[in-house]
Amino acid sequence: MSEPLATENLLGTYLRDRRGKLDPAALGFPSERRRTSGLRREEVAQRANISPTWYTWLEQGRGGAPSPDVLDRIARALMLTDIEREHLFLLGLGRPPEVRYRKNDDVTPRLQRVLDKLDPSPALIRTATWDVIGWNRAATVMLGDYGALPPHRRNVLRTIFLDPRARAVQYDWESVARHVVGAFRAEAARAGAAAAVEPLVDELCRLSPEFRTMWRDNDVRGAHGEAIKHIRHPTLGPLAFEYSVFAVDGRTDLSMVVYNPATPEDADKIRSMMERR
C-alpha cells in the first residue's frame, strides 16, 4: 500500500508566490542574472530582518510555527495588503492577526452610491470611533444635516449626549444611550481602536455626567444586529424603523447603519419630506 502524500506546504507556496511578484529593482536590489522573477529568499529575509536560513525553512515547511512578530515582518517585507497579511497569518498560525486600527475618513464613490440608492431609508457610514463619514439624503432629513457640521462634531455619541434634539426624539433616551455606550465600547475594542477613542471618552466624561456614569459601568452590548427603533420626529410625528448595522467589506473600522422604514406609510412620509427640501 502506497504511503499518503505529504500535506502541501501552503505557507511556503504562498510566500514563494508573493516574493515572485515583487520587482527587485524597485526595492533597491540588482535585477540582472536572475533565473526566476521576483526577490530571492535572502533578499526577503534582509527586508524582514530575519535569518535567511529561518526564512528558507519557512518556505520549505521546516522549523515549526513562526511567531506573530516574524510574520508581521515578512508581511511588510513582501508589501502585503491587509487581506494578504491576514491570509499569511491564517496559513502560518491558523488564526488572523491582532487588529491594527488605522484611522480612515474616506468613503469611496462606490460606497456613497450604495448609500444614495437606499433612499428613503436613512443610512450612514460610521467609523470605529463612531464618527459619521458618509450619509444619504434621507439621513440628512431624518437624523440631521451632517454636512452642516464641522467634521469633529459628526459623531454619534456627541449627538446622543450633547444635542438636546437627539434626546427629545427618543421615547426612552436612557435605554438608547446605554445601548449606544455599550455597543460603542465593544466595537472600538473589536477594531483595536481603544487608544483612539480616549480623547472622545475624556471629553464626554467632562461634558456629560450621564455618559461618565454609563461609561464607568463597563457595560458591553452587541454593536451589530437588527432591532425596531421608534422615534418622535418633530415634524412627521411617530415613526418606526427596522434598524440594522452591517460591516463594510469585512472591515472592522467601518459600519453601515440603515434605518429602514417599518411601514409603507412611514416611507411615504420621509419621501414627502425629502421632496420639500
- Number of alpha carbons in the 13 Å side-chain half-sphere of residue 262: 12
Domains of the chain: 10-93 (1.10.260.40), 109-276 (3.30.450.180)
- Taking the mean position of all CA atoms in its chain, how far away is CA 104? 9
Rounded to whole angstroms, how far apart are CA atoms 124 and 55?
Answer: 45
Cell numbers for 257:
447603519
What is the DSSP-derived secondary structure letter of residue 170? B
Cell digits of residue 121: 431609508
The whole model's pTM is what? Answer: 0.71
Determine contact, residues 131/154, Cβ cutoff 8 Å: yes
pLDDT tens for the chain, 277 residues: list them: 333 333 458 899 999 999 999 999 899 888 777 888 899 999 999 999 999 999 999 999 887 788 999 999 999 999 998 788 889 998 988 888 877 666 767 788 889 999 999 999 999 999 989 999 999 999 998 988 999 999 889 999 999 999 999 999 999 999 999 999 999 998 888 888 888 899 999 999 999 999 999 999 988 876 555 678 899 998 999 999 999 988 887 666 789 999 999 999 999 999 999 988 7
CB neighbours (10 Å) of residue 204? 22
- HSE at residue 69, side-chain half, CA atoms within 13 A, is 2
Q: What are the grid coordinates assigned to 54, written together?
A: 529561518
DSSP letter at 191 equals T
The distance in angstroms from the start CA to the end CA of the chain is 79
CA dist 155 and 127 (Å) reads 9
Answer whether 60's CB lies under 8 Å from 9's CB.
Answer: yes
